[in-house]
């Protein structure tokens, strides 16, 4: 049982980009991606105009108004600059579409890294990958803002990136060139595999927390599941009626959610391919005419860190919070032109990015997981659906463990 | 504690503890109030005086599992009415299945 209160997300703070030094009409100002580092110590956002901002987390007090009552006043870069020595500005030279932090590298990766990159003294470094407009991927060291590597291979926009959660420094990229690529950062960013099969732009990729599966979704309405061990296709998930633009695994790898322009989020069992839930995003006001038909197109979906909530961003100007077992959202917050969202890894905050280059931080429901859910999460972190079904336990417990019931 | 097995009644005694005994004989003394957060089951809520007639239920649960359940009682009580960040509650994979069965049992 959870706290039970359905609190509306409150806006904690908003960050706006300052005017760029060279105002360039050709570069767009959208915040296509936002990300927290897995340890919660950094936040990154592609604030448009080819710039990525890296800021330490938690935010400095000047950005959080006392009592969380109102939005912070407009904070231009110049006023921020003086108070934040650790803040980093990465000039990527072209529009930034995708962002991903690595976790702290695990020990074998650290050794490999040191061998191949002797000039980088700190072998335990946090890395940020940025996916660019022309297909390049730039790899940066977070602490120093230093450009480490340039990965070439993709022929078009790199829309999304995902590091393996284990810290092995394997990176997956998803591109409008219809491929996904696997890169090994321990070996100078060597491209180790190209995953072909999608017929249109690949919008997103996500690696399951147990590192066994990769999900990718594309314009042709299909969702693909790949094995991260053999880099081969496991299955295709059909069900969406339009482009699928966002995907995320639950923290125990037992559930996969995908979001589409068709106004739906589908929750799947990634092991069996079964559809478990359909979260329909209805407009609060009925449409006047056909022009409003796509107004609830989804842009982004993400799981909360304890695995009991989802946040979605849609074109109907709402951030929605969903509790897994329910069919309607538990809370809404107004947000215009939202493009992306992500939870802070330790819970409590949701970050969103918008078309005008702003990011917002919202309060997320405070969750105290039931003991049953904690047990389920612990078990599903290493058991597949089929392994659960093979256990000598009552049917009701299997249904609970496989998320058929909540 | 007035000795009545009235389930939910908080009898106004200063020390309202119940004793849970595991299958391997470990005794866990927890505040009745904390155990209540998990769900109510008359058998579990008996005071020390009632223990004998309700032993069969607790007797099936090994101490490693029961201790984790008790730790959860405290965790839940501690963080439910505070505004601090709720820390993770880790559960070892080898304990998880039995703990789940115990919880399901306790909760119904």
pLDDT of residue B42: 40
CB spacing of B69 vs A347 below 8 angstroms: no
Sheet holding A34-36, edge to edge: A34-36, A42-46, A51-56, A88-91
The SS3 call for residue B29 is strand
pLDDT of residue A5: 46
- Facing residue for A378 by CB, picked from B69, B86, B96: B96
- Is A391 in CB contact (< 8 Å) with chain B? yes
| Sequence-separated (6 or more) residues with CB below 8 Å from residue A265 | A257, A258, A259, A278, A279, A281, A298, A301, A310, A312, A322
Burial class (CB in 10 A: 0-12, 13-18, 19+), A355: middle
- Is A272 in CB contact (< 8 Å) with chain B? no
pLDDT class for A15, splitting at 50, 70, 90?
A: confident
Q: Which one is predicted more confidently, B52 or A331?
A: A331
| Sequence-separated (6 or more) residues with CB below 8 Å from residue A119 | none
**How many beta-carbon pairs below 8 A join chains A and B?**
53
* Per-residue model confidence as pLDDT tens digits over A153-192: 999 999 999 999 999 999 999 999 999 999 999 888 999 9
Question: ipTM > 0.90?
Answer: no
Peptide bond into A58 cis (omega under 30): yes
For an interface test with B, the pick among A40, A343, A375, A397 (most B C-beta atoms closer than 10 Å) comes out as A375
Continuous segment of H or E residues that includes residue B95: helix B93-107
| Sequence-separated (6 or more) residues with CB below 8 Å from residue B24 | B62, B63
pLDDT of residue A65: 46
Taking the mean position of all CA atoms in its chain, how far away is CA A293? Answer: 26
CA dist B101 and B94 (Å) reads: 13
Q: Which of A324, A364, A322, A360 is nearest to A343 (CA)?
A: A364
Please state, as a whole number, how many other Cβ atoms lie within 10 Å of the Cβ of residue A3.
14
Write down the mean pLDDT value for chain A.
Answer: 86
- Is A68 in CB contact (< 8 Å) with chain B? no
CA dist A29 and A45 (Å) reads: 12
pLDDT of residue B45: 46
* Per-residue model confidence as pLDDT tens digits over A229-246: 999 999 999 999 999 999
Contacts of B83 in chain A (CB under 8 A): 366
* Per-residue model confidence as pLDDT tens digits over B7-61: 333 344 445 787 877 888 888 888 777 765 544 344 344 444 444 333 434 457 8
Rounded to 5 degrees, φ, ψ at A277 are -145, 150
Q: Which of A215, A325, A303, A322 is nearest to A252 (CA)?
A: A303
Q: Looking at A213-280, which runs of residues are DSSP E strands? A: 213-218, 223-227, 233-237, 244-249, 256-260, 264-268, 275-280
The SS3 call for residue A139 is strand
Q: How many CA atoms lie within 13 A of A195 on its CB side?
A: 28
pLDDT class for A286, splitting at 50, 70, 90?
A: low
CB spacing of B80 vs A368 below 8 angstroms: yes
Alpha helices in A296-393 (DSSP H): 371-380, 385-389
User: Residue A273: pLDDT above 60?
Assistant: yes
CA distances from A223 to A211, A243, A282, A369, B20 (A): 18, 10, 23, 30, 50
pTM of the model: 0.85
The SS3 call for residue A226 is strand
| Sequence-separated (6 or more) residues with CB below 8 Å from residue B43 | B54, B57, B58
Contacts of B99 in chain A (CB under 8 A): 371, 375
Contacts of A391 in chain B (CB under 8 A): 97
CB spacing of B97 vs A348 below 8 angstroms: no
CA dist A128 and A17 (Å) reads: 20
Q: Which one is predicted more confidently, A365 or A211?
A: A211
- Is A7 in CB contact (< 8 Å) with chain B? no
| Sequence-separated (6 or more) residues with CB below 8 Å from residue A245 | A203, A204, A217, A259, A260, A261, A298, A299, A300
| Angle at which helices B63-80 and A371-380 cross, to 10° | 120
pLDDT class for A29, splitting at 50, 70, 90?
A: confident
Q: Which of A48, A45, A8, A11 is nearest to A356 (CA)?
A: A48
pLDDT of residue A73: 36
CA dist A36 and A55 (Å) reads: 10
């Amino acid at each position: 049982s959870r706290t039970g209160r359905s609190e509306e997300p409150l806006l904690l703070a908003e960050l706006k980009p300052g005017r760029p030094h060279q105002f360039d009409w050709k570069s767009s100002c959208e915040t296509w991606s936002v990300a927290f580092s897995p340890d919660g110590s950094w936040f990154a956002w592609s604030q448009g105009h080819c710039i990525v901002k890296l800021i330490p987390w938690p935010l400095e007090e000047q950005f959080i108004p006392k009592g969380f009552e109102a939005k912070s006043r407009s904070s231009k870069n110049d006023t921020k600059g003086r108070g934040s020595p650790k803040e980093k500005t990465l000039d990527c030279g072209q529009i930034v579409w995708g962002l991903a932090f690595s976790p702290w590298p695990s020990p074998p990766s650290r050794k490999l890294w040191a061998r191949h990159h002797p000039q980088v003294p700190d072998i335990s470094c946090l890395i940020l990958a940025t996916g660019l407009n022309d297909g390049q991927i730039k790899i940066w060291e977070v602490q120093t803002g230093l450009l480490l590597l340039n990965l070439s291979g993709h022929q078009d926009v790199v829309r999304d990136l995902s590091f393996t959660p284990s810290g092995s420094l394997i990176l997956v990229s998803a591109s409008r060139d219809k491929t996904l690529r696997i890169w090994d950062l321990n070996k100078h960013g060597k491209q180790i595999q190209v995953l072909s099969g999608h017929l249109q732009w690949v919008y997103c990729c996500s690696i399951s927390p147990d590192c066994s599966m990769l999900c990718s979704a594309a314009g042709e309405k299909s969702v693909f599941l790949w094995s991260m061990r053999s880099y081969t296709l496991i299955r295709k998930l059909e069900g969406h009626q339009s482009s699928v633009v966002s995907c995320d695994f639950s923290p125990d790898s037992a559930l996969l959610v995908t979001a589409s322009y068709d106004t739906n989020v589908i929750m799947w069992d990634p092991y069996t391919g079964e559809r478990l839930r359909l979260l329909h995003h209805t407009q609060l006001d009925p449409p006047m005419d056909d022009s409003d038909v796509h107004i609830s197109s989804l842009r982004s979906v993400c799981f909360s860190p304890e695995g009991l909530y989802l946040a979605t961003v849609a074109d109907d100007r709402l951030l929605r919070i969903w509790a897994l077992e329910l069919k309607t959202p538990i809370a809404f917050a107004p947000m215009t032109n939202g493009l992306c969202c992500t939870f802070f890894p330790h819970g409590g905050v949701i970050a969103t990015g918008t078309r005008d280059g702003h990011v917002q931080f919202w309060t997320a429901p405070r969750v105290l997981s039931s003991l049953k859910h904690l047990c389920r999460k612990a078990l599903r972190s290493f058991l597949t659906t089929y392994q659960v079904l093979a256990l000598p336990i009552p049917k009701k417990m299997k249904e609970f463990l496989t998320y058929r019931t909540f | 504690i007035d000795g009545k097995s009235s389930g939910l009644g908080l009898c106004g005694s200063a020390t309202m503890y119940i004793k849970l005994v595991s299958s391997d004989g470990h005794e866990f003394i927890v505040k009745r109030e904390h155990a209540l957060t998990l769900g109510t089951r008359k058998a579990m809520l008996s005071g020390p005086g009632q223990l004998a007639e309700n032993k069969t239920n607790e007797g099936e649960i090994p101490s490693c599992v029961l201790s984790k359940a008790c730790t959860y009682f405290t965790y839940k009580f501690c963080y439910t009415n505070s505004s601090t960040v709720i820390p993770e509650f880790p559960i070892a994979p080898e304990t998880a299945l039995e703990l789940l069965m115990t919880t399901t049992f306790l909760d119904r």
